[in-house]
Chain A
C-alpha cells in the first residue's frame, strides 16, 4: 500500500531538487556533548544549511553504530538524557519555526517502552516528520508503519548495498519519506571512499520507486558530499559532525563551520 500523505520532509526534498542540490542531513545525538547544547546545536545546523536533521535518541546498545556515535550515546546517557527530555528539546525547537525539519533516529526498544502509539503521537506533536529505526527490518515494521501512516509521519527504510532484488522490491513498495541507502556494509562512521557502484545501485532503486534516496554511513567531507550529490537526493552526515562536538565550549562554532563547509560543496 502506498502512503497517501505528504509532510514537510517531502517538501524539503522537492525544494532541494528545485535548487539542484542534494538535501543536507546532519545527524546529532541528543544530549551530546550536553543537554543544554542540544537546542542551540539544532538551531545552528538549521541556520547553516541543514535541510533535514536526524536527531538521535541515545540507546544503551546501539548495534548499528560505529565507535563515534556509540561514544556520543554513552556520554549522553551519562548526562541523564531520556526520551522525555529529548521531546522537550524538540518541542522547544518546533516553537521557533526553524527551517530544517527533524527526523528521529533511535532503536526499537526505546519506542516500545514509551508505547508505540504514545511515541508516534509525541513525534507528530513536536513536528517530527520521519522515524529511522536501524534494528527494525521490514518484517517487524508492520505495527509501527500502521501507526505512523495514521499520524502522517514517515517510516524510513534502509537499503543496504547487499540487498537482494526481491527484498529491494518489497522495501521500495513500502518506502515513504526517503530511502536510507547505506553506502557500505558495516556500522556508522567516516570512510575514505564512497562505494564505486553507487550509480548502478541508485538506478536499480529508481526502477522500483520515486521516493528520494539519501546516502548515509561513511560520508564526512565536502568532496564526498559533492560526489554523492551527483547520484542521490540527500546526504546524511553523522560521525564526522559528532567528532567536531567533543568540547562543549567550541561545539556550536565547530558545528556552524562544519555545516557551512559541507553545504558549499561544488
Chain B
C-alpha cells in the first residue's frame, strides 16, 4: 500500500504513555467511587492496548478503508475570493457517517473490544456521535445503547431512525432539560449500574479523565492530515490560522492539537451564541466578555454555564452538537494560556454561513460546522490577502435539512 497514512510517523498514532488527569487547573475525575474501577481499568490498559501493533494496524486499516481517510483538504476558491484570503476546508464531512465523530467512535470501540467489554453505551446530542457509535458497533458486533434527550429526538428524527436501523437501542431521556447534558447524566447512571460489562463511549473531549485525552488522541488525526496535506502544497509553510466550531470541543481539539506548538498559527474556536448573549439563550462559555466561571459537571472541572449557586444553566443553539453547558478542559487551558482564541456567532449568522458555503462551493456543512464558516466571516478583517486559513468542516448538513426547512417555512408565514 502506498497511502498517505503509511508515510505518517509515530505522531499519527494515539499516544497514552504520559497521560495527566489535569490540563493546568482543568480536568480531573469527579465521578462516583463505583465508576473508579472502570476508569482505572481504562487508564491502566489503554497504553498497552493502543501501542500494540495489531491494534494500530486494525485501526489504521479501518480509518483508511472503512472511514475513507485521509479526508481531503479542499481549496475553497470562490469563498476565498469573496472573503479576500485563502480558505482551505478540512473535509470531515466526507468521512463515513458524515462527521468527524467516527474517528473517536472507532478508536474507543476497538479499545473496548480488547478490554473484553461486550456492551457499549453512548450519549448523543445532534445524533452524529450516536450514529457513529451505532455504526462501529454494527461493524464490530457489539451491543449498543444510545441515550438521547427527548428534545433532540424530536429535532433529529432521521438520526434516531438511522441508529435503530444500525441495531442500536435508542433511549429517550425525558428528564432535566431533555438535551445532551441529560443524555450524559443518564448514560453515566447506566454505566454506574452496569459497570462490570459496559464501556461508556463518550463522544466529546469532555467528562472525567481519561476521556478528554482519549477523545483528543483519536481525533488528532484531523490536524495531522490537514498539516500534511497543506505542507505537500506549500512545503515548509504553516497556515495562518486553523478554525473550528466548539461545543465540547472534539473536532476543534482534533484540528488544533498538532498546531499547538506552532506559535505562528492562530487557533480559533467558534462557540454558539444562539439568540445572542444578552438573550440568555446561548451556549457561550469562553467567548463572552463577562468573566467565565469554572465548575464541575459530569466528571470534569472546566468553564461552565451555571448560576451563582452552581446549578447548571440551560443552553441553546440551533446546532444540537454545540448545545452544551461545558467546554472541554484542554480548551479551558488553551484559553487561559491565551494560546487559542474563542469567538461566537449567533444562530442567524450560522445559517448565513451555511448558505454562503453552499452557494459558493456546493458544500452543505452541518449547522455546527457552519458556525466555523460564520466565524471566518465575522473575523475576516483580522486576515490579510495571502493569508491561508484551514477551516474544519466537521460534518455534513444532511441531518439539518429538515430543521432548516421548518425554520424557513415559519419565516415565510
Binary B-proximity of A145-188 (CB < 8 A = 1, otherwise 0): 00000000000011110111001000100000000001001110
Residues from chain A with a CB closer than 8 A to the CB of B296 are 107-109, 112, 135
* A-binding segment of B25-33, B73-81, B283-291: B25-33
A39 to chain B, nearest CB (A): 20
Q: Which partner residue on chain B sits nearest A133 by CB separation?
A: B30
- Interface flag for B45 (CB, 8 Å): no
**Which B292-311 residues have C-beta < 8 A from chain A?**
293, 295-299, 304, 306, 308-311
A77 pairs with B311, CB closer than 8 A: yes
B310 to chain A, nearest CB (A): 3
A64 pairs with B37, CB closer than 8 A: no
B298 pairs with A63, CB closer than 8 A: yes
- Interface flag for A82 (CB, 8 Å): yes
- Interface flag for A114 (CB, 8 Å): yes
B253 to chain A, nearest CB (A): 23
Q: How far is the CA of A174 from the CA of B176 in the complex (A)?
A: 35
Residues from chain B with a CB closer than 8 A to the CB of A186 are 34, 189, 192-193
Q: Which partner residue on chain B sits nearest A171 by CB separation?
A: B33
Q: Which partner residue on chain A sits nearest B30 by CB separation?
A: A135
| Known contacts A70-B175, A74-B175: A160-B33 contact under CB 8 Å | yes
Residues from chain B with a CB closer than 8 A to the CB of A157 are 33
A104 to chain B, nearest CB (A): 14
Q: Interface size of A by Cβ–Cβ distance < 8 Å?
A: 42
Q: How far is the CA of A62 from the CA of B185 in the complex (A)?
A: 8
Q: How far is the CA of A108 from the CA of B299 in the complex (A)?
A: 10
B197 to chain A, nearest CB (A): 11
| Known contacts A61-B185, A135-B299: A159-B192 contact under CB 8 Å | no
A235 to chain B, nearest CB (A): 19
B176 pairs with A162, CB closer than 8 A: no
A135 pairs with B32, CB closer than 8 A: yes
* B-binding segment of A9-17, A20-28, A136-144, A197-205: A136-144
- Interface flag for B119 (CB, 8 Å): no
Q: How far is the CA of A157 from the CA of B312 in the complex (A)?
A: 25
Q: Which partner residue on chain B sits nearest A81 by CB separation?
A: B309
Residues from chain A with a CB closer than 8 A to the CB of B293 are 113
Q: How far is the CA of A121 from the CA of B176 in the complex (A)?
A: 31
Q: How far is the CA of A60 from the CA of B309 in the complex (A)?
A: 10
Residues from chain A with a CB closer than 8 A to the CB of B310 are 59, 83, 109-110, 112-114
Binary B-proximity of A66-77 (CB < 8 A = 1, otherwise 0): 110011001001
Q: Interface size of B by Cβ–Cβ distance < 8 Å?
A: 35
| Known contacts A59-B310, A70-B175: A185-B196 contact under CB 8 Å | yes
A60 pairs with B295, CB closer than 8 A: no
Q: Which partner residue on chain B sits nearest A82 by CB separation?
A: B309
B311 pairs with A64, CB closer than 8 A: no
> Which of B176, B193, B297: most chain A Cβ within 10 A?
B297
Q: How far is the CA of A63 from the CA of B293 in the complex (A)?
A: 21
Among candidates A77, A83, A137, residue contacting B33 with C-beta atoms closer than 8 Å: A137
- Interface flag for B19 (CB, 8 Å): no
B63 to chain A, nearest CB (A): 33
A90 to chain B, nearest CB (A): 16
> Which of A136, A137, A171: most chain B Cβ within 10 A?
A137
Q: Which partner residue on chain B sits nearest A108 by CB separation?
A: B296
A185 pairs with B34, CB closer than 8 A: yes
Q: Which partner residue on chain B sits nearest A134 by CB separation?
A: B32
Residues from chain A with a CB closer than 8 A to the CB of B195 are 162, 185
Q: How far is the CA of A52 from the CA of B36 in the complex (A)?
A: 28
Among candidates B30, B192, B308, residue contacting A113 with C-beta atoms closer than 8 Å: B308
| Known contacts A61-B185, A74-B176: A162-B32 contact under CB 8 Å | no
A246 to chain B, nearest CB (A): 17
Extra pairs beyond A113-B295, A114-B309, A137-B29 (12, CB < 8 Å): A74-B175, A108-B296, A109-B297, A110-B310, A113-B309, A113-B310, A114-B310, A135-B30, A137-B36, A140-B29, A160-B36, A163-B33
**Which residues from chain B sit less than 8 Å from chain A, CB to CB?**
21, 28-34, 36-37, 40, 175-176, 181, 185, 188-189, 192-196, 293, 295-299, 304, 306, 308-312
**Which residues from chain A sit less than 8 Å from chain B, CB to CB?**
59-64, 66-67, 70-71, 74, 77, 82-84, 107-110, 112-114, 134-140, 157-160, 162-164, 167, 171, 182, 185-187
8 closest Cβ pairs, A-B complex: A113-B310, A160-B34, A186-B193, A158-B33, A109-B310, A60-B311, A109-B296, A60-B312
**Chain A to chain B contacts (Cβ below 8 Å), 19 pairs:** A60-B311, A62-B185, A63-B298, A67-B175, A77-B311, A109-B296, A110-B309, A112-B296, A113-B309, A137-B33, A137-B36, A139-B29, A140-B28, A158-B32, A160-B37, A162-B34, A163-B37, A182-B34, A185-B195
